[in-house]
Amino acid sequence: MASFWEYANPLKFMRTTDWLLPIVTWAAVIVTTVGLVWGFFFTSDDFRQGSTVKIIFLHVPSAMMAINIWVMMLVASLVWLIRRHHVSALAAKAAAPIGLTMTLIGLITGAVWGQPMWGTWWAWDPRLTSFLILFLFYLGYIALWAAIDDPDTGADLTAVLCLVGSVFAVLSRYAAIFWNQGLHQGASLSLAPGTRMDWAYKAPLYTCMVGFGLVFVALLLAGTRTEIRARRMKALVTRERMA
C-alpha cells in the first residue's frame, strides 16, 4: 500500500486534489445548502427562544469548526516540525484565514443571538472570552506568516508559535472558567437547562456541521493548492534571478 506520506509530495498532492477538489466543493455546497435551508425554512420556532433558535445552525457549526481548525493546524505544524513535509506547513498556512473567518462568524452570530437571549451583545463569559482569545491567536499566527519573507523560516516559526500558543490557549480556557462562571450554554446539545434538544433541530444541525466541515475541507484544498503554487513561483523567481 502506498504510504500516506506520499500525499505530502506537492506534485502528488496537486494531482490528487485535481479531481478531489471539485467533488468536495460540490458536496460542501449541497450539504451546507440543504442544512441551512432545512434549518431556516423547515424548523419551527422554539417556545422560549422564538425564531432566534434558527441561529444555532450557523453558530454551533462555525464555533466548532473554529476550534477544530486550530487543532488541525496544530497537527499540521507538528508534522512539519517532525517530518518536514512542505505541504503540511502550507496547509496550516492556508487553514488559518478559514479559522479566523469561522471564529468571526461564531462571534457575530453569538453576539446577534445574545441580544435577544441575554439582553446584551456581549458578555465576559468564559466561553466567549476564550473564543475571543482564539481570535487573537489566529490574528497573531496570520500576522507572523505575513511578516516573514523566507518560506521555510516562516513555516518553522509559525509552527512553534502554534505549539506554544495551543498550550496557552488551553490555559486561558481554564483561567477564564475560573475567573467567571458565565451565561453560555453547557456542552450538551441542550437549548435550555434540563431540556434535551429535539431531533427536529438536531438533524439539520448535524447536517450543517457536516456541511461546514466540507466547506472547510474545500477551502483548505483550494488554499493549499494556491500556497503550493505560490511557493513554487517564489522558488522559480529566485532561481531566475540567480541565472
Partner 1 sequence: MGLRVTDLSCARGGLPLLEGVSFSLEAGQALVLRGPNGCGKTTLLRTVAGLQPALAGQVDLPPEAIAYAAHADGIKSTLSVAENLAFWAAIYGTSSFEEALDRMNLRALAGRAAQNLSAGQKRRLGLARLLVTGRPLWVLDEPTVSLDTASVALFGDVVRRHLQAGGMALIATHIDLGLPEAEILDLASYKARLPEIGAGTFDEAFL
Partner 2 sequence: MISLLTRDLRLALRAGGGFGLGLAFYLILAVLVPLGVGPAPATLALIAPGILWVGALLACLLSLDRIFALDFEDGSLDLLATAPVPLEAVVSIKALAHWLTTGLPLVLISPVMGLLLFLPSEAYLWLILSLTLGTPALSVIGTFGAALTVGLKRGGLLLSLLVLPLYIPTLIFGAEVVSRGAQGLSVSTPLALLAGITAGAVALLPFASALVLRINLR
Partner 3 sequence: MMPDLGSYALEVSLAYVASLGLIGLLALWYWLRGRVVRRQLEEIETRRGEANG
Chain residues that interact with partner 3, rule: CB under 8 A: 36, 40-41, 45, 50-52, 54-55, 58-59, 62, 97-98, 101, 104-105, 108-109, 112-113, 115-116, 215, 219, 222-223, 225-226, 229-230, 232-233, 236-237, 240
Cβ atoms of 89 and 140 closer than 8 Å: no
Stretch that binds partner 1, among 24-32, 103-111, 183-191, 232-240 (CB under 8 A): 232-240
Residue 160 binds partner 2 (CB under 8 A): yes
User: Binders of ligand HEM among 47-106, rule CB under 6 A?
Assistant: 56, 59-60, 63-64, 67, 106
Least distance to partner 2 from the beta carbon of 167, Å? 9
Query: What is the SS3 assignment for 185?
Result: coil
Residues recorded for the chain:
243
| CB of residue 127 to ligand HEM, shortest distance in Å | 5
Contacts of 205 (CB under 8 A, 6+ apart): 35, 39, 56, 57, 60, 61, 189, 197
| Angle formed at CA 28 by CA 24 and CA 33, multiple of 5 degrees | 155
**H helices within 148-192, ranges in order?**
151-179
Closest C-alpha to 34, from 219, 212, 199: 212
CA-CA distance, 176 to 167, in Å (whole number)? 14
Site residues (CB under 6 A) for ligand HEM? 56, 59-60, 63-64, 67, 106-107, 110-111, 113-114, 117-118, 122, 127-128, 131, 184-185, 187-189
Residues that bind partner 2 (CB under 8 A): 111, 120-125, 129, 132-133, 136-137, 139-140, 143-144, 146-149, 153, 156-157, 160-161, 163-165, 168-169, 171-172, 174-176, 178-180
